[in-house]
Amino acid sequence: MAKPRLCDVCKEHPATVHYTEIVNNKLRKLNLCEHCAREKGLGVTAHFSVAEILKGLTESQPAGEPEDETTCDFCGLSFSRFRKVGRLGCPHCYEAFYEQLEPILSDVHKKTEHVGKSPSAAALIDTTTKRLSELNRKLVQAVENEEYERAAQLRDEIKALEQQQKPTGDET
Amino acid sequence: MKLNDLVTGEHSWMRANGPESDIVFSSRVRLARNLADSIFPNRATPNEKAQVLERILAAVKHLKEFKGGLILKMDEIEELDKQFLAERYLISRELAGAGAGSAVLISPDQSMSLMINEEDHIRFQVLLSGFRLDECFEIASRIDEQLETRLEYAYSPKLGYLSACPTNVGTGIRVSAMLHLPALILIRQIEQVLQAIIKLGLAVRGLYGEGTEWFGNLFQISNQVTLGKSEEELIASLEKVIRQIVQSEKNARASLLKTKSEVLQDKVGRAAGILRNAHVITSRETIDHLSTLRMGIDLSLVEDLDRQSVNELFILTQPAHLQKISGKTLDAAVRDVERGTLLRQRLQNN
């Protein structure tokens, strides 16, 4: 990852405060260090971008603290290396560094658990729905052909599948 | 389809025909996905990248959305072509910098593109004209569901879709809209609006210009959070904010028309005058005037031009586009002349 952006004013310290202002009808974005931001009277309301939070967390190793040498068995990435590059090495890094990543995730997303789409759910619904429509088609056919024993069997199968498809805790 | 067909082809973005397309230029949904048990591109060896590319290419060739479109490998196309694709929002700047092992698929109508081995193994986007975030997500979801039957995604029930950068983990979704807000800038309310957006936890950046300078009055607003909220929630909250911004811009335009109509007409007239008559013009000056002209069309202050032709010019006047159109490399000074010629031709008084 590139060096952190330096403060637009002092050009010495990393810019952590990002501010937008309008001067002479022109929009200007300022990147300031905390000190210069205070000098300009920009308090805590100035915004921190997600990338900057992450950068801060990954790049500013507190002085005196030993480097975290936890390593991902699958790809060999160490956590200290992740701090420098800001990118994980493989999907297994999330397990390997879970303890260290959790506070970062919590800072960036305010939450640490996924809500939303999942691959298996979509695939599962798809196959169950497909299977159900196939069984229903066969049931109609069985009734038409007066194969009542087969129809009863199909009906039970459909019932069982429909029961399965209902989300748990839906009884109430 | 060939890469050069894109030059004359119409980008869905250019049509300027979706809902609220006077202010919302485009809507976009991007999903990031990775393959289970595969090293992420930044850490993969060339060999590992090549294998991932082959696996993904085998799966994506079944996608009906990309039938008849383009598959471009980054090590097989010219630098200029990469820049051209980036100017058209079909690839990211990051992919433009990538080489062997990376590729892009582009749908025939250019509304969809799928990047392989960018920051993540797969990133695909749906970009439509106007305010249509739901529709973008619906299409993206369809692509996603086809892909997951052929590829095993890196997914954890707790953290969702796993991405190379923890800022994308969870849904892996980036929802964004490009807004044209010239009136809010003219009445000097943009700062309040932008601050409010940021306070709501959304990201906003100028479309043109880098770092400290924004121009062209175009802003991209997007979600920052990807974990702990569903795709629908993320889209709904962005939509709500965008609706408010669109309303503020409309109010600003109405108030300008009412109280400063001659100032507004003067601005629009001057922008049109320069674009129609300049012989040497930079990209930045062009974008600034196109923005003003576009607002003039929205407010019926310009009668003989339509939104689509102005939208097209935002794209066609960019450096790589000018060079693709003329079929040769041009240095900056020559491009400024070419740009003037193109603008005069396209904006002739009818």
Q: Give the tens place of pLDDT for each residue, A86-138.
A: 999 999 999 999 999 999 999 999 999 999 999 865 555 556 666 777 787 78
Run of H or E including B24: strand B24-33
pLDDT at site A7:
77
Measure the CA–CA gap between B28 and B69, rounded to whole angstroms.
19
Nearest to A117 among B171, B191, B199 (CB): B171
- Residues of chain B with Cβ-Cβ distance to A5 below 8 Å are 211
DSSP, collapsed to helix, strand or coil, labels residue B80 as helix
Q: Give the tens place of pLDDT for each residue, B262-301.
A: 999 999 999 999 999 999 999 999 999 999 999 999 999 9
pLDDT at site B321:
95
Q: Is the distance from CB of B51 to CB of B35 less than 8 angstroms?
A: no
Residue B115, phi then psi, degrees to nearest 5: -100, 135
pLDDT at site B4:
87
Q: Is the distance from CB of B111 to CB of B143 less than 8 angstroms?
A: no
A86 touches chain B (CB under 8 A): yes
pLDDT above 80: residue B213? no
Section B175-190 average pLDDT = 94
Residue B108, phi then psi, degrees to nearest 5: -55, -35
Give residue A85's identity as a one-letter amino acid code. Answer: V
pLDDT at site B47:
93
DSSP, collapsed to helix, strand or coil, labels residue B72 as strand
Other residues' Cβ atoms within 10 Å of the Cβ of residue B345: 8
Section B229-242 average pLDDT = 96
Tell me the C-alpha to C-alpha distance, in Å, between residue A123 and each of A101, A155, A164, B138, B154: 29, 24, 15, 16, 15
Interface of A with B in 20-39 (CB under 8 A): 20-22, 25, 27-31
pLDDT at site A160:
85
- Residues of chain A with Cβ-Cβ distance to B34 below 8 Å are 91
pLDDT at site B66:
95
pLDDT at site A10:
76
Q: Is the distance from CB of B280 to CB of B260 less than 8 angstroms?
A: no
What's the token pair of residue A142? 């069985």
Q: Which residues in chain A belong to E strands, given as ranges?
A: 17-23, 26-32
Measure the CA–CA gap between B107 and B28, rounded to whole angstroms.
15
**Is B225 close to A108, i.e. CB distance below 8 A?**
yes
Nearest to A113 among B149, B226, B228 (CB): B228
What's the token pair of residue B239? 């939509």
Q: Give the tens place of pLDDT for each residue, A42-79.
A: 533 334 455 555 555 555 555 556 677 899 999 999 99
Give residue A156's identity as a one-letter amino acid code. Answer: D
Measure the CA–CA gap between A40 and B76, rounded to whole angstroms.
50
CB burial of B230-254 (b: ≥16 within 10 Å; e: otherwise) equals: ebeebbebbbebbeebbebbeebbe
Other residues' Cβ atoms within 10 Å of the Cβ of residue A62: 5
Tell me the C-alpha to C-alpha distance, in Å, between residue A156 and each of A16, A134, A145, A149, B64: 64, 14, 18, 11, 37
pLDDT above 90: residue A19? no
pLDDT above 50: residue B137? yes
B276 touches chain A (CB under 8 A): no
When comparing pLDDT for A168 and A156, which is higher?
A156
Using the structure block, give the residue that is written with the tokens 């390997």: A96
Closest residue in B to A48 (Cα) is: B198
pLDDT at site A109:
94
Section B72-98 average pLDDT = 94
Nearest to B191 among A21, A92, A114 (CB): A21
